[in-house]
Structure 1
């Protein structure tokens, strides 16, 4: 992962970096990156697509593929709020609050990470490090020596871990400890129930080479979302799992490239999910049995993102730097470790749990009426 000498070099660079006056060339780079970031940070769809496009161009930046896949899952979580089940469990106000949290985190991470990716692009294009310009995008000073070290050493694991750490710290105060999101979402019973039901999952879909219609999943289930150390460790575990098996990795990338992101879960399981509501809203019925539709059951409603939610405007993020002491860099010292989880089984179990939860709520509601 990282030896002591490399850690000392990065630490020394952190202590000595400073803002320099800009040349016309540098200002032009900043203007181009600012415009491109604004264009591609319009919605979860544009962000997700751009991460994959960047990974296709620079596969050595492995974090970009992880970001694409996690962002896909964020989109699915957003549309779940207007889909078959959560729309019956949550009030419209709760749905909107949950969406605002997911969208804000998704927007903030892209706003911070995409300029870093583009600075790598321009650094390669012009054969010189341009990462001293990170400060002009309010990117933490933690990342400049990390990127410069990557240009020299090409340590993919260290860069990916640093980006995972940086983005989780970036949303810590701005989302996780934001008073509105804490009160309206993270501290609510409904959110804790979702964690208990196992609905906070990150899926890496991929097809069987011989049976293209047979979808498998890599990934993991999220636990303790509100804990930053848990989120960083989870991100490291996701990264390690994603890149631990080269054959599976190729299948995941192939699937992602062949299936444009719409936000609907129909993207990976069209036999279960549909973008059109096939059954009347509010009708009580159990549709699933062992991840298959029961005989005569209509598919589960999972709308595309552009139908579920309108594009929203975001206010600029606060500029403070999360990196206040060297102890915060400690996760860099431990390598990501891959673990396996049967995500197909876990996902099927989670879907069945939420369907039963909806049925139980409707039965109780009708009894009260």
Structure 2
């Protein structure tokens, strides 16, 4: 770096230089030691990027090693939500709403996004860990993993300033921009997922909830919930603001942060929603096959005599899916992305009633679909 990055004015100068400079794409020669380090980091990342369960645990393990890297815990909790969304596709309710092909397409979309983020972010973590161990910054290695020049600047700034919040926000900005062309604007996924009627149904049924279960100090197995709902999933701007809100919720309310850590430590991620509400969800299917669905949940409590909702573990719901290499290219073009650091995005975390209504909406949608199909069958006789 031409100068130490100790302030936001330094960041601005550095990013302006990078935005105006046309890089040749050529990388300088590395020592044999650095080449070996790169291979080790690539292999560690590959091994941990097998599925949602391995990623989710890797984020949590890294946070325990380096609690100064706030995004690792945020990534862990968001990754839990991705896992729950994946298993919902094979669970009690969505299997009655979505045909099998759409279940597979939605899973492929979630898995690709989850895989992409991990293979971008985890090498950053390992390079930071290496820097700590050798007691000097090693962030010049980031470019050998196709990581944005924006993050090279932000890691250098963090190394010199210790500004945990700015690094976490930078990672939110980076990951959402990284996904934009590779996933959200990808024509294949627009055709089979984001452009479909079923995806619009997701918005209508408010399925884009992100919840943070946390231990609230009582002795019950049922976790308390904090969280927020994302509108306009396909908007890059809205996803960045949403990520900032989730970060604010997790790290600016001590009760939630300590409660989330306690709950996460005591409940390894399986992908089943039974992890946080075993009185409402079960990873064993308790209902009779082919029976018409009847409402089971009211205000997030089971109705009297109702079976729990089936929510399978990830390992029984979906196999590991090999992924193609990530597309090349650096999203960073405009230093004005720094505007996101100036805006405060508060989140009160009140999600309980919204989440309860979401479950009831889905139940109603299932019953409506079954009633329509039954009427069509009767008319065809």
Interval containing the TM-score (normalised by the shorter chain): over 0.9
* CA distance, structure 2, for counterparts of residue 135 and residue 272 of structure 1: 46
Give 1:19 shift.
3.2
Distance, in Å, in 2 between the alignment partners of 1:310 and 1:39 is 16
**1:97-140 CA distance string (max 9 Å, x none):** 00000000000000000000000000000011111011111111
What's the counterpart of residue 230 of structure 1?
238
SS at match of 1:338: coil
1:239 aligns with 2:256: no
Given candidates 89, 93, 97, the residue that maps to 2:97 is 89
What corresponds to 1:39 in structure 2?
Answer: 47
1:302 aligns with 2:307: no
Contact 1:72 1:261 in 2 (8 A): yes
Separation in 1 of the partners of 2:209 and 2:273?
13
Counterpart check, 1:321 vs 2:363:
no
Offset at residue 86 of structure 1 (A): 0.4
Distance 1:147 1:13 in 2: 15
Q: 2:193 aligns with which of 164, 174, 185?
A: 185
Question: SS at the partner of 1:83?
Answer: coil
Counterparts of residues 1-369 of structure 1 (less than 5 Å): 3-12=8-17, 19-283=27-291, 284-327=293-336, 329-369=337-377
Q: What is the root-mean-square deviation of aligned Cα atoms in Å?
A: 1.7
CA distance in 1, matches of 2:90, 2:231: 23
Contact 1:169 1:228 in 2 (8 A): yes
C-alpha deviation, 1:325, in angstroms: 2.9
Match of 2:149, SS state, is: coil
CA shift for structure 1 position 15: 6.3
Distance 2:245 2:162 in 1: 20
Aligned length: 368
Q: What is the DSSP-based 3-state SS (H/G/I as helix, E as strand, rest coil) of the residue aligned with 1:205?
A: strand
Per-residue CA shift, 1:157-181, capped at 9, x if unaligned? 1111111111111111111011111
Give the superposition deviation at 1:14: 6.8
Q: Note the residue ranges of structure 2 that are not aligned, 5 or more in a row.
A: 1-6
Distance between the aligned counterparts of 1:34 and 1:140, measured in 2?
Answer: 17
| 8 Å Cα contact 2:214/2:256 also seen in 1 | yes
- Give 3-state SS (helix, strand or coil) of 2:360's partner: helix
Distance 2:79 2:344 in 1: 20
CA contact (8 A) 2:88 2:311 kept: yes
Which runs of 5 or more residues in structure 1 are unaligned?
none
CA contact (8 A) 1:278 1:298 kept: yes
Structure 1 residue 336, shift from structure 2 partner: 4.2
The answer to whether the 8 Å contact 1:205/1:217 transfers is yes
